[in-house]
Structure 1
Amino acid sequence: MRLFRRFLLFFVLAFLLPLATHAGWWIWQTHAPDWRRADWSSAKLLPAASVDPEATVHIFAARVGRWRGIFAHHSWIVVKEANASAYTRFDVVGWGAPVRVNHREADGRWFGNEPESVAEIRGAAAERLIPRIRAAVQSYAYAEPGSYLAWPGPNSNSFVQHVLTEVPELREALPPTAIGKDWRETGLFAGLTPSRTGLQASLYGLAGITVGWVEGVEVNILGLVAGFDLRSPALKLPGWGRVGI
């Protein structure tokens, strides 16, 4: 009983309290009432492809629409080969064929919400990784209509996490609010983190723990994540996401 009370106190302080405070902040913000009236235009985070000759890889994440933005981000991947005249964007959506290519602007807002840069790789390193990223996109197992599941996955963040797992040299971690990133089709998973810099145990992405240099320390309960970063010191809080440097 004492152990249960301690767990309950931990859950309230580390999970419910941050989530509740972020919900209070979120409802005071201005949001598009529906997807038709949302702003999906470029956030002008990327230069025109024609004026940037380098090969580049970008990972973006933006809050999802309406009430789900309280606790969740949508993520996607953008690549551009050297001297290419356009960017190529890969992401997964919840209607029709899940895997989309150039469904929106490469750096477009998502449901009106400004994207944030999760990762950027340029030059020769990007050139080496782009063929493997494209191969990872092709190998994603949940590309058929009806295979998308918003919670616990597979969803848009499960897709990007799949690419990060297949190309660990990207050496990046999705935001803690990327619900679905810890989903595993095998159910119970125990092994290396996607970056191969630590260990992870997960039960369908609904409960688990991760300890890695790239991923940091994360405790996952029902898809919500609390923990802290190791590489760049920061807290990871449900709702708020990464809070730090």
Structure 2
Amino acid sequence: MRRLILLVLLVCFTLPLASHALWRWTSGWPGSWSGADWSSAGLLPAEMVEDEAVVHVMAARVGNWRSIFAHHSWVVLKRAGAETYTRYDVVGWGEPVRTNHRVADGRWYGNEPEILLTLTGAAAEAAVPVIEQAVRDYPYPARGSYRAWPGPNSNTFIAHLAAEVPVLAPALLPTAIGKDFRDGWFYAGTSVSGTGLQLSLGGVFGVTVGWVEGAELNLLGLVAGVDLRRPALKLPGWGRLGMAPA
């Protein structure tokens, strides 16, 4: 049994993380906040082109060596007929919850963002006011409440929104470190999507099994697992390998 546990840890955690660390290191990353590219990646159409309501959940690798491990996540929305997008995310300096802190589809520390999930039409129209209320109700809005590990952080924020709007749950990447952080340091109950169960010890250790989340094992915030709904492997560092989450 001991050897089996060590083998699982090696195959599911150590090897994927080590290989991704080597790849990121040889690829390089911006040396400083000021030297990084924060400009639009051109992923979203001009605001006036989209007349209907829309919601996008987006993510990009975090800065410097931390990009080995994690993504930063945020949400972009627009009401029907609105002239501009509104972006909400949580950051680690000043007031954590930010509105339009960066351009809606901006790069993060020079890393290209990706759109993980999109709602349009009636689904977006119904979701927008719930998301806006959930932003106001985020339980960690105070200065100094942000913790990159194990949370609460930007991914804890998106998990909070998804708990109120479960259709957003597929956008929680395995590399969204902080998504499993729950207040009180112990949680046993339904998963964020409401389609399964989760056990979490402060986001540091845990197990999640659900139709949307798949099967996930959390070890020190790193996630390994499998998604059967939209077939994919979930590996530390590399993240999701397979079909897109939505």
TM-score w.r.t. length of structure 1: 0.97
**Residue equivalent to 1:183:** 181
Match of 2:82 in 1: 84
Distance 2:130 2:221 in 1: 28
**Which of structure 1's runs of 4+ aligned residues deviate more than 3 A?**
none
Work out whether residues 173 and 215 of structure 1, in 8 Å CA contact, stay in contact via their aligned partners in 2: no
Where do 5+ consecutive residues of structure 1 fail to align?
A: none
Q: What residue ranges of structure 2 are gaps of 5+ in the alignment?
A: none
Q: For 2:195 and 2:144, how far apart are their aligned partners in 1?
A: 34
Instruction: Return the alpha-carbon distance in structure 2 between the equivalents of residues 112 and 57 of structure 1.
Output: 23
> Counterpart of 1:196?
194
CA distance in 2, matches of 1:77, 1:70: 22
Partner of 1:122: 120
- The equivalent position to 2:214 in structure 1, one of 213, 216, 228, is 216
Q: TM-score, normalised by structure 2?
A: 0.97
1:123-154 deviations in whole A, cap 9, x for unaligned?
11100110000000000011110110111000
How far apart are the structure 2 equivalents of 1:216 and 1:109? Answer: 29
Alignment of 1:56-205 (within 5 A): 56-205=54-203
Q: Distance in 1 between matches of 2:168 and 2:18?
A: 33
RMSD between superposed Cα atoms in Å: 0.9
Contact 2:207 2:218 survives alignment (8 Å): yes
224 and 139 in structure 1: CA distance in 2 versus 1, 3 angstrom threshold = same
Measure, in 2, the Cα distance between the counterparts of 1:152 and 1:27. 23
Deviates more, 1:130-139 or 1:163-172: 163-172
Q: CA deviation at 1:6?
A: 1.9
Q: Deviations over 1:169-209 (max 9, x none)?
A: 43524110000000011211111111111111111111111
Partner of 2:5: 7
